Structure 1
Amino acid sequence: MSRHTPITAVVTGASSGIGLAVARAFLQRGDRVVGNARDHGRLEEAAYALDAGARFVTIAGDIADPATSARMFEVAEARFGRVDVLVNNAGVFLSKPFVEYSASDLDALLATNLRGAIHATKRAVEHMSAHGGGHVVNVTASIALQPLAGVPAALPILIKGGLNALTRALALELAPKKILVSAVAPGIVETPLYAGADRDALRTLQPLRRIGSAEEIADAVLHLAGATFTTGVVLPVDGGMSAGHW
Protein backbone atom coordinates (compact mmCIF):
# COMPACT_ATOMS: atom_id res chain seq x y z
CA MET A 1 0.00 0.00 0.00
CA SER A 2 1.48 3.33 -1.06
CA ARG A 3 2.09 5.99 1.55
CA HIS A 4 0.04 9.17 1.27
CA THR A 5 2.01 12.28 0.36
CA PRO A 6 0.61 15.24 2.33
CA ILE A 7 -1.07 17.96 0.30
CA THR A 8 -2.40 21.43 1.08
CA ALA A 9 -6.11 22.21 0.79
CA VAL A 10 -7.96 25.51 1.08
CA VAL A 11 -11.49 24.97 2.43
CA THR A 12 -14.10 27.72 2.62
CA GLY A 13 -16.94 27.60 5.11
CA ALA A 14 -14.71 25.47 7.34
CA SER A 15 -16.13 26.40 10.75
CA SER A 16 -19.08 23.97 10.77
CA GLY A 17 -21.09 21.40 8.85
CA ILE A 18 -19.70 20.04 5.61
CA GLY A 19 -16.72 22.40 5.56
CA LEU A 20 -15.60 21.32 9.02
CA ALA A 21 -16.00 17.65 8.07
CA VAL A 22 -13.94 18.21 4.90
CA ALA A 23 -11.18 19.97 6.86
CA ARG A 24 -11.15 17.14 9.42
CA ALA A 25 -10.95 14.48 6.70
CA PHE A 26 -7.92 16.13 5.09
CA LEU A 27 -6.22 16.60 8.43
CA GLN A 28 -6.86 13.03 9.59
CA ARG A 29 -4.86 11.67 6.69
CA GLY A 30 -1.96 14.02 7.39
CA ASP A 31 -2.70 16.90 5.03
CA ARG A 32 -2.51 20.63 5.70
CA VAL A 33 -5.56 22.89 5.58
CA VAL A 34 -6.18 26.61 5.31
CA GLY A 35 -9.73 27.07 6.57
CA ASN A 36 -11.88 30.11 5.99
CA ALA A 37 -15.12 31.30 7.57
CA ARG A 38 -16.74 34.65 8.17
CA ASP A 39 -17.04 34.30 11.96
CA HIS A 40 -13.62 34.45 13.65
CA GLY A 41 -14.88 33.00 16.93
CA ARG A 42 -16.49 29.95 15.33
CA LEU A 43 -13.43 29.39 13.19
CA GLU A 44 -11.18 29.38 16.25
CA GLU A 45 -13.55 26.93 17.96
CA ALA A 46 -13.22 24.68 14.92
CA ALA A 47 -9.43 24.92 15.09
CA TYR A 48 -9.53 23.90 18.75
CA ALA A 49 -11.84 20.96 17.99
CA LEU A 50 -9.66 19.75 15.11
CA ASP A 51 -6.54 19.91 17.30
CA ALA A 52 -4.20 19.78 14.29
CA GLY A 53 -1.71 22.38 15.46
CA ALA A 54 0.24 24.15 12.74
CA ARG A 55 -1.32 21.99 10.01
CA PHE A 56 -4.60 23.95 10.28
CA VAL A 57 -4.39 27.67 9.57
CA THR A 58 -7.45 29.92 9.95
CA ILE A 59 -8.32 32.89 7.75
CA ALA A 60 -11.40 34.72 8.97
CA GLY A 61 -13.19 36.92 6.48
CA ASP A 62 -16.11 37.28 4.11
CA ILE A 63 -15.47 35.04 1.10
CA ALA A 64 -17.44 37.50 -1.06
CA ASP A 65 -14.58 39.96 -0.56
CA PRO A 66 -11.79 39.20 -3.07
CA ALA A 67 -9.24 40.28 -0.46
CA THR A 68 -10.18 37.23 1.62
CA SER A 69 -9.29 34.85 -1.21
CA ALA A 70 -6.05 36.71 -1.83
CA ARG A 71 -5.12 36.33 1.83
CA MET A 72 -5.97 32.61 1.88
CA PHE A 73 -3.61 31.83 -0.96
CA GLU A 74 -0.87 34.17 0.22
CA VAL A 75 -0.87 32.55 3.65
CA ALA A 76 -1.10 29.03 2.23
CA GLU A 77 1.87 29.60 -0.03
CA ALA A 78 3.91 31.25 2.73
CA ARG A 79 3.18 28.46 5.25
CA PHE A 80 3.08 25.37 3.07
CA GLY A 81 4.65 26.28 -0.27
CA ARG A 82 1.68 25.58 -2.51
CA VAL A 83 -2.04 24.80 -2.69
CA ASP A 84 -3.08 21.48 -4.25
CA VAL A 85 -6.85 21.61 -3.70
CA LEU A 86 -9.48 24.32 -3.34
CA VAL A 87 -12.84 23.28 -1.87
CA ASN A 88 -15.50 25.92 -2.52
CA ASN A 89 -17.88 24.94 0.25
CA ALA A 90 -19.09 28.24 1.76
CA GLY A 91 -22.75 28.78 1.01
CA VAL A 92 -26.14 29.85 2.27
CA PHE A 93 -29.54 28.33 1.48
CA LEU A 94 -32.88 30.15 1.62
CA SER A 95 -36.05 28.21 0.86
CA LYS A 96 -39.18 30.29 0.20
CA PRO A 97 -41.69 30.92 -2.57
CA PHE A 98 -40.10 32.80 -5.48
CA VAL A 99 -42.15 35.98 -5.06
CA GLU A 100 -41.11 36.22 -1.40
CA TYR A 101 -37.38 36.52 -2.10
CA SER A 102 -36.17 40.02 -1.26
CA ALA A 103 -33.41 42.02 -2.87
CA SER A 104 -31.29 41.41 0.24
CA ASP A 105 -31.91 37.64 -0.07
CA LEU A 106 -30.63 37.75 -3.64
CA ASP A 107 -27.60 39.79 -2.62
CA ALA A 108 -26.72 37.33 0.17
CA LEU A 109 -27.05 34.30 -2.10
CA LEU A 110 -25.02 35.85 -4.89
CA ALA A 111 -22.33 37.14 -2.52
CA THR A 112 -21.50 33.88 -0.78
CA ASN A 113 -22.62 31.18 -3.19
CA LEU A 114 -21.42 32.72 -6.44
CA ARG A 115 -19.05 35.64 -5.99
CA GLY A 116 -17.17 33.87 -3.21
CA ALA A 117 -16.61 30.78 -5.35
CA ILE A 118 -15.54 32.89 -8.32
CA HIS A 119 -13.01 34.95 -6.34
CA ALA A 120 -11.49 31.87 -4.70
CA THR A 121 -11.37 29.92 -7.94
CA LYS A 122 -9.65 32.75 -9.80
CA ARG A 123 -6.93 32.80 -7.15
CA ALA A 124 -6.67 29.02 -7.29
CA VAL A 125 -6.29 29.00 -11.06
CA GLU A 126 -3.57 31.64 -10.95
CA HIS A 127 -1.72 29.73 -8.24
CA MET A 128 -2.15 26.25 -9.69
CA SER A 129 -1.19 27.38 -13.19
CA ALA A 130 2.15 28.47 -11.75
CA HIS A 131 2.61 25.22 -9.80
CA GLY A 132 1.82 22.62 -12.43
CA GLY A 133 -1.85 21.94 -11.72
CA GLY A 134 -4.28 21.08 -8.95
CA HIS A 135 -7.91 20.39 -8.15
CA VAL A 136 -10.94 22.58 -7.57
CA VAL A 137 -13.95 20.90 -5.94
CA ASN A 138 -17.21 22.87 -5.73
CA VAL A 139 -19.90 21.94 -3.22
CA THR A 140 -23.21 22.62 -4.95
CA ALA A 141 -26.61 21.03 -4.24
CA SER A 142 -28.58 18.02 -5.43
CA ILE A 143 -31.72 20.13 -5.63
CA ALA A 144 -30.08 22.05 -8.49
CA LEU A 145 -30.09 18.76 -10.44
CA GLN A 146 -33.61 17.71 -9.43
CA PRO A 147 -35.90 20.47 -8.05
CA LEU A 148 -38.52 19.37 -5.56
CA ALA A 149 -42.10 20.61 -5.61
CA GLY A 150 -42.20 20.55 -1.82
CA VAL A 151 -39.06 22.67 -1.40
CA PRO A 152 -39.43 26.07 -3.10
CA ALA A 153 -35.87 27.27 -3.66
CA ALA A 154 -35.69 28.85 -7.11
CA LEU A 155 -32.87 31.29 -6.37
CA PRO A 156 -30.52 28.81 -4.65
CA ILE A 157 -31.25 26.38 -7.49
CA LEU A 158 -30.42 29.07 -10.03
CA ILE A 159 -27.10 29.89 -8.37
CA LYS A 160 -26.02 26.34 -7.49
CA GLY A 161 -27.03 25.26 -10.98
CA GLY A 162 -24.79 28.00 -12.29
CA LEU A 163 -21.90 26.57 -10.27
CA ASN A 164 -22.56 23.17 -11.82
CA ALA A 165 -22.33 24.76 -15.26
CA LEU A 166 -19.19 26.65 -14.25
CA THR A 167 -17.67 23.37 -13.07
CA ARG A 168 -18.08 21.78 -16.49
CA ALA A 169 -16.95 24.86 -18.40
CA LEU A 170 -13.80 25.31 -16.33
CA ALA A 171 -12.98 21.61 -16.54
CA LEU A 172 -12.66 22.02 -20.29
CA GLU A 173 -10.91 25.38 -20.17
CA LEU A 174 -8.36 24.37 -17.55
CA ALA A 175 -7.58 20.81 -18.64
CA PRO A 176 -4.50 21.95 -20.62
CA LYS A 177 -3.16 23.48 -17.39
CA LYS A 178 -3.67 20.16 -15.52
CA ILE A 179 -6.26 21.78 -13.25
CA LEU A 180 -9.17 19.42 -12.61
CA VAL A 181 -12.56 20.89 -11.69
CA SER A 182 -15.42 18.83 -10.28
CA ALA A 183 -18.38 19.23 -7.93
CA VAL A 184 -20.18 17.35 -5.19
CA ALA A 185 -23.94 17.90 -5.02
CA PRO A 186 -25.19 17.02 -1.52
CA GLY A 187 -28.75 16.14 -0.68
CA ILE A 188 -30.21 16.64 2.80
CA VAL A 189 -27.28 16.41 5.20
CA GLU A 190 -27.12 16.66 9.00
CA THR A 191 -25.66 20.15 9.45
CA PRO A 192 -26.58 23.29 11.41
CA LEU A 193 -28.52 24.41 8.32
CA TYR A 194 -31.33 22.02 9.29
CA ALA A 195 -31.30 22.68 13.04
CA GLY A 196 -34.85 22.48 14.32
CA ALA A 197 -36.25 21.05 11.06
CA ASP A 198 -38.69 18.12 11.03
CA ARG A 199 -36.39 15.09 10.65
CA ASP A 200 -39.22 12.77 9.56
CA ALA A 201 -40.17 15.16 6.76
CA LEU A 202 -36.55 15.54 5.66
CA ARG A 203 -36.11 11.77 5.40
CA THR A 204 -38.98 11.53 2.91
CA LEU A 205 -37.11 13.79 0.47
CA GLN A 206 -34.54 11.08 -0.36
CA PRO A 207 -35.26 7.56 -1.64
CA LEU A 208 -32.91 5.99 0.91
CA ARG A 209 -35.19 7.53 3.55
CA ARG A 210 -32.44 8.89 5.72
CA ILE A 211 -30.45 12.07 6.22
CA GLY A 212 -26.87 12.06 5.02
CA SER A 213 -23.85 12.89 7.16
CA ALA A 214 -21.29 15.62 6.59
CA GLU A 215 -18.65 12.90 6.67
CA GLU A 216 -20.24 11.19 3.65
CA ILE A 217 -19.94 14.44 1.70
CA ALA A 218 -16.35 14.84 2.87
CA ASP A 219 -15.55 11.34 1.57
CA ALA A 220 -16.82 12.36 -1.87
CA VAL A 221 -14.83 15.59 -1.81
CA LEU A 222 -11.61 13.73 -0.96
CA HIS A 223 -12.31 11.21 -3.70
CA LEU A 224 -12.62 13.93 -6.34
CA ALA A 225 -9.69 15.85 -4.89
CA GLY A 226 -7.51 12.80 -5.43
CA ALA A 227 -8.86 11.73 -8.81
CA THR A 228 -6.43 11.85 -11.71
CA PHE A 229 -8.72 11.09 -14.66
CA THR A 230 -12.01 12.64 -13.52
CA THR A 231 -12.90 16.25 -14.28
CA GLY A 232 -16.07 18.12 -15.17
CA VAL A 233 -18.28 15.76 -13.17
CA VAL A 234 -21.08 16.82 -10.80
CA LEU A 235 -21.37 13.95 -8.31
CA PRO A 236 -24.69 13.66 -6.45
CA VAL A 237 -24.35 12.42 -2.88
CA ASP A 238 -28.01 12.57 -2.01
CA GLY A 239 -29.53 9.19 -1.18
CA GLY A 240 -30.89 8.95 -4.72
CA MET A 241 -32.76 12.26 -4.65
CA SER A 242 -31.55 13.38 -8.09
CA ALA A 243 -32.17 10.02 -9.78
CA GLY A 244 -35.75 10.89 -10.72
CA HIS A 245 -39.30 10.89 -9.34
CA TRP A 246 -40.35 8.53 -6.57
Structure 2
Amino acid sequence: MKNKTVIITGASTGIGKEIAKYFIERDSNVVMNSSNEENLRRTYKEFDSPSNAVYLAGDISKQETSQKLATLALETFNSIDVLINNSGVFAPKPFLDVEEKDLERYWSVNLKGTYFTSQAVIPQMLKQQNGSIINIGTVLVEHAIAGFSATAPLTSKGAIHSLTRQLASEFGKNNIKVNTIAPGIIRSPLQGKIGIEDADSLAGLHLLNRIGEAIEVAEAAYYLATSNFVTGETINIAGGHTVGHAI
Protein backbone atom coordinates (compact mmCIF):
# COMPACT_ATOMS: atom_id res chain seq x y z
CA MET A 1 0.00 0.00 0.00
CA LYS A 2 2.99 2.33 -0.16
CA ASN A 3 2.03 5.51 -2.06
CA LYS A 4 -1.51 4.19 -2.62
CA THR A 5 -4.27 6.69 -1.85
CA VAL A 6 -6.81 5.82 0.84
CA ILE A 7 -9.90 7.86 1.78
CA ILE A 8 -11.17 7.16 5.31
CA THR A 9 -14.40 8.64 6.63
CA GLY A 10 -15.04 8.99 10.35
CA ALA A 11 -11.28 9.16 10.85
CA SER A 12 -11.00 11.41 13.89
CA THR A 13 -11.87 8.93 16.66
CA GLY A 14 -12.25 5.26 17.49
CA ILE A 15 -11.95 2.65 14.75
CA GLY A 16 -11.53 5.20 11.95
CA LYS A 17 -8.69 6.92 13.78
CA GLU A 18 -6.88 3.62 14.27
CA ILE A 19 -7.36 2.69 10.60
CA ALA A 20 -5.96 6.06 9.50
CA LYS A 21 -2.94 5.65 11.77
CA TYR A 22 -2.32 2.12 10.50
CA PHE A 23 -2.26 3.16 6.84
CA ILE A 24 -0.26 6.35 7.45
CA GLU A 25 2.44 4.39 9.28
CA ARG A 26 2.70 2.09 6.27
CA ASP A 27 3.35 4.97 3.86
CA SER A 28 -0.08 5.11 2.24
CA ASN A 29 -1.42 8.50 1.22
CA VAL A 30 -4.43 9.11 3.45
CA VAL A 31 -7.35 11.52 3.12
CA MET A 32 -9.09 11.78 6.50
CA ASN A 33 -12.68 12.91 6.96
CA SER A 34 -14.91 13.65 9.93
CA SER A 35 -17.90 15.88 10.56
CA ASN A 36 -16.13 17.29 13.63
CA GLU A 37 -13.39 19.62 12.40
CA GLU A 38 -11.90 20.17 15.85
CA ASN A 39 -11.50 16.44 16.51
CA LEU A 40 -10.12 15.92 13.01
CA ARG A 41 -7.51 18.65 13.39
CA ARG A 42 -6.53 17.33 16.82
CA THR A 43 -6.08 13.80 15.48
CA TYR A 44 -4.00 15.03 12.54
CA LYS A 45 -1.71 16.90 14.93
CA GLU A 46 -1.57 13.87 17.22
CA PHE A 47 -0.22 11.96 14.22
CA ASP A 48 2.51 14.66 13.97
CA SER A 49 0.91 16.28 10.88
CA PRO A 50 2.22 13.63 8.47
CA SER A 51 3.11 14.75 4.94
CA ASN A 52 1.35 11.70 3.49
CA ALA A 53 -2.02 12.71 4.95
CA VAL A 54 -4.54 15.50 4.50
CA TYR A 55 -7.93 16.07 6.08
CA LEU A 56 -11.29 17.51 5.16
CA ALA A 57 -14.12 18.14 7.60
CA GLY A 58 -17.64 17.69 6.31
CA ASP A 59 -20.98 15.97 6.77
CA ILE A 60 -20.70 12.68 4.89
CA SER A 61 -24.47 12.51 4.42
CA LYS A 62 -24.15 15.47 2.02
CA GLN A 63 -23.22 14.47 -1.51
CA GLU A 64 -21.01 17.54 -1.89
CA THR A 65 -18.73 16.26 0.90
CA SER A 66 -18.09 13.04 -1.03
CA GLN A 67 -17.21 14.96 -4.16
CA LYS A 68 -14.84 17.22 -2.22
CA LEU A 69 -13.07 14.19 -0.76
CA ALA A 70 -12.58 12.63 -4.19
CA THR A 71 -11.32 15.93 -5.61
CA LEU A 72 -8.91 16.45 -2.71
CA ALA A 73 -7.50 12.93 -3.11
CA LEU A 74 -6.90 13.41 -6.83
CA GLU A 75 -5.48 16.92 -6.55
CA THR A 76 -3.13 15.93 -3.71
CA PHE A 77 -2.14 12.35 -4.51
CA ASN A 78 -3.29 11.75 -8.13
CA SER A 79 -5.23 8.53 -7.48
CA ILE A 80 -7.98 6.93 -5.43
CA ASP A 81 -7.07 3.35 -4.62
CA VAL A 82 -9.07 2.55 -1.50
CA LEU A 83 -12.19 3.95 0.14
CA ILE A 84 -13.01 2.97 3.72
CA ASN A 85 -16.58 3.94 4.61
CA ASN A 86 -16.19 4.01 8.37
CA SER A 87 -18.28 7.05 9.30
CA GLY A 88 -21.48 6.14 11.08
CA VAL A 89 -23.82 6.68 14.01
CA PHE A 90 -25.31 4.01 16.23
CA ALA A 91 -27.41 3.91 19.39
CA PRO A 92 -30.05 1.60 20.89
CA LYS A 93 -33.70 2.64 21.08
CA PRO A 94 -36.82 0.49 21.52
CA PHE A 95 -38.65 -0.16 18.25
CA LEU A 96 -41.93 1.40 19.41
CA ASP A 97 -40.12 4.59 20.45
CA VAL A 98 -38.38 5.17 17.11
CA GLU A 99 -39.44 8.36 15.38
CA GLU A 100 -39.07 9.44 11.78
CA LYS A 101 -36.18 11.73 12.71
CA ASP A 102 -34.30 8.72 14.07
CA LEU A 103 -34.65 6.82 10.80
CA GLU A 104 -33.65 9.90 8.82
CA ARG A 105 -30.49 10.33 10.89
CA TYR A 106 -29.28 6.75 10.54
CA TRP A 107 -30.17 6.38 6.90
CA SER A 108 -28.61 9.73 6.03
CA VAL A 109 -25.27 9.27 7.78
CA ASN A 110 -24.83 5.50 7.55
CA LEU A 111 -26.36 4.53 4.23
CA LYS A 112 -26.38 7.74 2.19
CA GLY A 113 -22.87 8.56 3.38
CA THR A 114 -21.59 5.17 2.22
CA TYR A 115 -23.59 5.35 -0.99
CA PHE A 116 -22.54 8.87 -2.02
CA THR A 117 -18.86 8.40 -1.20
CA SER A 118 -18.76 5.19 -3.21
CA GLN A 119 -20.40 7.02 -6.11
CA ALA A 120 -17.76 9.73 -5.88
CA VAL A 121 -14.72 7.40 -6.07
CA ILE A 122 -15.83 4.70 -8.48
CA PRO A 123 -15.40 6.85 -11.64
CA GLN A 124 -11.68 7.21 -10.85
CA MET A 125 -11.40 3.52 -9.99
CA LEU A 126 -12.99 2.73 -13.37
CA LYS A 127 -10.30 4.81 -15.08
CA GLN A 128 -7.64 2.93 -13.14
CA GLN A 129 -9.42 -0.43 -13.63
CA ASN A 130 -8.54 -1.12 -10.03
CA GLY A 131 -9.78 -0.20 -6.58
CA SER A 132 -11.09 -1.37 -3.23
CA ILE A 133 -14.09 -0.19 -1.23
CA ILE A 134 -14.40 -1.35 2.38
CA ASN A 135 -17.65 -0.72 4.21
CA ILE A 136 -18.14 -0.97 7.95
CA GLY A 137 -21.23 -2.89 9.01
CA THR A 138 -21.95 -4.85 12.19
CA VAL A 139 -22.34 -8.47 13.24
CA LEU A 140 -25.77 -7.51 14.63
CA VAL A 141 -27.15 -7.51 11.07
CA GLU A 142 -26.90 -11.30 11.04
CA HIS A 143 -26.91 -11.98 14.78
CA ALA A 144 -29.55 -10.05 16.69
CA ILE A 145 -29.53 -9.68 20.48
CA ALA A 146 -32.94 -9.60 22.17
CA GLY A 147 -31.85 -7.26 24.94
CA PHE A 148 -30.27 -4.74 22.60
CA SER A 149 -32.98 -3.07 20.54
CA ALA A 150 -31.46 -1.01 17.76
CA THR A 151 -33.74 -1.44 14.75
CA ALA A 152 -33.19 2.09 13.42
CA PRO A 153 -29.40 1.93 12.96
CA LEU A 154 -29.47 -1.78 12.11
CA THR A 155 -31.74 -1.30 9.11
CA SER A 156 -29.23 1.18 7.70
CA LYS A 157 -26.33 -1.18 8.39
CA GLY A 158 -28.21 -4.06 6.81
CA ALA A 159 -28.64 -1.94 3.70
CA ILE A 160 -24.88 -1.37 3.65
CA HIS A 161 -24.29 -5.13 3.73
CA SER A 162 -26.62 -5.49 0.73
CA LEU A 163 -25.01 -2.57 -1.08
CA THR A 164 -21.63 -4.26 -0.70
CA ARG A 165 -22.76 -7.38 -2.52
CA GLN A 166 -24.47 -5.46 -5.31
CA LEU A 167 -21.51 -3.15 -5.97
CA ALA A 168 -19.16 -6.15 -5.95
CA SER A 169 -21.37 -7.74 -8.60
CA GLU A 170 -21.69 -4.62 -10.71
CA PHE A 171 -18.03 -3.62 -10.76
CA GLY A 172 -16.17 -6.91 -10.41
CA LYS A 173 -15.42 -6.92 -14.13
CA ASN A 174 -13.58 -3.63 -13.60
CA ASN A 175 -11.33 -5.11 -10.88
CA ILE A 176 -13.05 -3.05 -8.17
CA LYS A 177 -13.32 -5.06 -4.98
CA VAL A 178 -16.10 -4.24 -2.48
CA ASN A 179 -16.28 -5.84 0.96
CA THR A 180 -17.78 -5.29 4.41
CA ILE A 181 -16.09 -5.53 7.78
CA ALA A 182 -18.61 -6.47 10.47
CA PRO A 183 -17.12 -5.77 13.91
CA GLY A 184 -18.27 -7.24 17.18
CA ILE A 185 -17.87 -5.26 20.39
CA ILE A 186 -14.78 -3.11 19.86
CA ARG A 187 -13.13 -0.94 22.48
CA SER A 188 -13.85 2.59 21.29
CA PRO A 189 -15.55 5.85 22.38
CA LEU A 190 -18.79 4.53 20.85
CA GLN A 191 -19.38 2.28 23.86
CA GLY A 192 -19.47 5.22 26.22
CA LYS A 193 -21.70 7.20 23.90
CA ILE A 194 -24.39 4.52 23.97
CA GLY A 195 -24.24 4.15 27.74
CA ILE A 196 -21.97 1.13 28.15
CA GLU A 197 -19.70 2.05 31.08
CA ASP A 198 -17.70 -1.18 31.10
CA ALA A 199 -17.26 -2.56 27.58
CA ASP A 200 -15.29 -5.52 28.95
CA SER A 201 -18.46 -6.71 30.68
CA LEU A 202 -19.66 -7.75 27.20
CA ALA A 203 -16.76 -10.15 26.68
CA GLY A 204 -19.10 -13.14 26.97
CA LEU A 205 -20.73 -12.21 23.66
CA HIS A 206 -17.57 -13.53 21.99
CA LEU A 207 -16.18 -17.06 22.00
CA LEU A 208 -12.73 -15.64 22.75
CA ASN A 209 -14.26 -14.15 25.92
CA ARG A 210 -12.89 -10.67 25.30
CA ILE A 211 -13.88 -7.59 23.33
CA GLY A 212 -11.95 -6.51 20.26
CA GLU A 213 -9.43 -3.72 19.84
CA ALA A 214 -9.59 -1.07 17.14
CA ILE A 215 -6.25 -2.14 15.70
CA GLU A 216 -7.74 -5.56 14.90
CA VAL A 217 -10.28 -3.86 12.65
CA ALA A 218 -7.47 -1.80 11.10
CA GLU A 219 -5.54 -4.99 10.33
CA ALA A 220 -8.59 -6.43 8.58
CA ALA A 221 -9.04 -3.25 6.57
CA TYR A 222 -5.41 -3.38 5.47
CA TYR A 223 -5.79 -7.00 4.41
CA LEU A 224 -8.85 -6.23 2.30
CA ALA A 225 -7.15 -3.16 0.81
CA THR A 226 -4.25 -5.31 -0.38
CA SER A 227 -6.21 -8.40 -1.43
CA ASN A 228 -6.81 -8.91 -5.14
CA PHE A 229 -9.14 -11.92 -4.95
CA VAL A 230 -11.69 -11.12 -2.25
CA THR A 231 -14.90 -9.29 -3.11
CA GLY A 232 -18.55 -9.24 -2.05
CA GLU A 233 -17.68 -10.67 1.34
CA THR A 234 -18.61 -9.76 4.88
CA ILE A 235 -15.65 -10.34 7.19
CA ASN A 236 -16.63 -10.71 10.84
CA ILE A 237 -14.03 -9.25 13.20
CA ALA A 238 -15.88 -10.42 16.22
CA GLY A 239 -14.07 -13.09 18.22
CA GLY A 240 -16.67 -15.72 17.33
CA HIS A 241 -19.67 -13.50 18.13
CA THR A 242 -21.79 -14.94 15.31
CA VAL A 243 -20.84 -18.55 16.04
CA GLY A 244 -21.67 -18.83 19.72
CA HIS A 245 -21.15 -17.30 23.15
CA ALA A 246 -18.79 -17.79 26.04
CA ILE A 247 -20.62 -18.25 29.37
TM-score greater than 0.5 by the shorter chain: yes
**Partner Cα distance (2:208, 2:245) in 1:** 13
Q: 5+ residue gaps in structure 2?
A: none
The two structures have a TM-score, normalised by structure 1, of: 0.95
- 1:233 aligned residue: 233
Are 2:67 and 1:77 equivalent residues in the alignment? Answer: no
Given that residues 2 and 26 in structure 2 are in contact (C-alpha distance below 8 angstroms), is that contact kept between their aligned partners in structure 1?
no
Are 2:65 and 1:68 equivalent residues in the alignment? Answer: yes
- 2:104 aligned residue: 107
Cα shift readout 1:15-63 (whole Å, capped 9, x = no counterpart) = 0001001100101111110000001100000101112422111110000
- 1:212 aligned residue: 212
Given that residues 85 and 136 in structure 2 are in contact (C-alpha distance below 8 angstroms), is that contact kept between their aligned partners in structure 1?
yes
**Partner Cα distance (2:115, 2:79) in 1:** 20
**Partner Cα distance (1:93, 1:132) in 2:** 34
Across the aligned residues of Structure 1 and Structure 2, the Cα RMSD in angstroms comes to: 1.3
Which residue type is aligned with residue 168 of structure 2?
A: A
Which residue type is aligned with residue 106 of structure 1?
A: L
Instruction: Describe the SS at the equivalent of 1:242.
Output: coil
Instruction: Describe the SS at the equivalent of 1:33.
Output: strand
- Range 190-199 or range 209-218, more displaced: 190-199
**One of 9, 22, 27 as aligned partner of 2:24:** 27
How do 1:85-164 and structure 2 match up within 5 A? 85-164=82-161
**One of 41, 51, 61 as aligned partner of 1:44:** 41
- Range 200-209 or range 232-241, more displaced: 200-209
Q: 5+ residue gaps in structure 1?
A: none
**Partner Cα distance (2:117, 2:215) in 1:** 23
The two structures have a TM-score, normalised by structure 2, of: 0.95
- 2:184 aligned residue: 187
**Partner Cα distance (2:159, 2:208) in 1:** 27
Which residue type is aligned with residue 63 of structure 2?
A: P
Q: CA deviation at 1:96?
A: 1.7
Cα shift readout 1:188-231 (whole Å, capped 9, x = no counterpart) = 00111112523353222222221111100000011011100110
**Partner Cα distance (1:87, 1:111) in 2:** 17
- 4+ residue segments displaced more than 4 Å: none
Q: Kindly, what percent of the aligned residue pairs are identical? A: 35
- 2:222 aligned residue: 222
Are 2:3 and 1:6 equivalent residues in the alignment? Answer: yes
**Partner Cα distance (2:180, 2:199) in 1:** 26
Q: CA deviation at 1:244?
A: 4.2
**Partner Cα distance (1:205, 1:22) in 2:** 24
Which residue type is aligned with residue 210 of structure 1?
A: R
**Partner Cα distance (1:245, 1:52) in 2:** 42
Instruction: Describe the SS at the equivalent of 2:242.
Output: helix
